[in-house]
Amino acid sequence: MKAYLAMVRVSMRQLLGRKWVILIGLVALLPSVVMVVQTRVSAQGRLAAEFTQGPLLTLFFFVLPLTSILLGSLVLGEERRDGTLSFLVLRPRRREVITGAKLTAAWLAAWAISGLSGLLPAVILGFSANVWRMVLPVIVATGLSTLAYVGVFMAIGYLTRWAVLIGAGFLFFWETGIAFAADSLANISLFRIGLTAFAGMVSQAPALLDDAMGSLQPGAGGAIAKCLVIAAVSVGSISLLMRRRDLT
């Protein structure tokens, strides 16, 4: 357990210590900016509904996927291509422990950014309209979708150096394009995992979320199950590849 926690801590420091993380942090403020603008131009009674139309969708369509794809793609892939992964695999540790620690580190680092990005506008909503029921659901929802994206793109990042480019195409052509337009493809949309959890946790979820969720039904339980499966498949598949490839 000590080795696992040490790898998580070191990996998080490596990911969050990059200079371009500051730029991601500034981008993560975008939902808060949208929320501030809405509090100035909208009636107080409409702010809860507009939270889901503006800040929440900005978070799940752009900030969260961007952050998760970048950090998930780099956490193992960069070490493998730099040759530093060999220092980990030469030690007497199971491959699942290494990949699990890397997944945990990328998830926590990405969640720290995306969760704060969602928390700030929810707090602004609370102070502006005395509506606090969005705070916990948005934290949970960002954690779930972040885990799904990191799990998928950690595997892709391990396999190819083009993972970030693939992620950009996935986000802009699939997630916010084809899969968003076709309700039948909602089950394989990663940002919708978090949105269904959010809708399931919020009493009287605004109807504006229906279009974003497509054919999916609100519910946190199903979203948690999906994320755990994605994480397990990611760790298992990468661990298997690490056993079959010479990383030294």
CA distances 75 to 18, 116, 192, 205, 215, Å, are: 12, 21, 24, 35, 33
Domain assignment of residue 99, given as a range: 2-244
Q: CA 154, 168, 15, 29: dihedral to nearest 10 degrees?
A: -130
* Residue 80 banded pLDDT, cuts 50, 70, 90: confident
Compute the mean pLDDT over every residue in the chain, rounded to the nearest whole number: 84
Two tokens at 203? 């009493």
At 37 the pLDDT is 85
The H helix count followed by the E strand count for the chain is: 14, 0
At 121 the pLDDT is 93
Q: Which of 232, 140, 120 is closest to 193 using CA atoms?
A: 140
**Predicted confidence (pLDDT) at residue 82 exceeds the cutoff of 80:** no
Q: Which of 2, 6, 62, 1 is closest to 29 using CA atoms?
A: 62
- What is the average pLDDT across 57-83? 88
Least confident of 26-35, 103-112, 212-221, 234-243: 212-221
Give CA–CA dist 192/213, Å, rounded: 6
Two tokens at 139? 């934290």
At 184 the pLDDT is 62
At 245 the pLDDT is 63
- What is the average pLDDT across 7-28? 89
pTM over 0.85? The answer is: yes
Give CA–CA dist 59/134, Å, rounded: 14
- Fill in the amino acid letter for 42: S
| Total domains in the fold of the chain | 1
Q: How many residues does the chain have?
A: 248
* Residue 63 banded pLDDT, cuts 50, 70, 90: very high
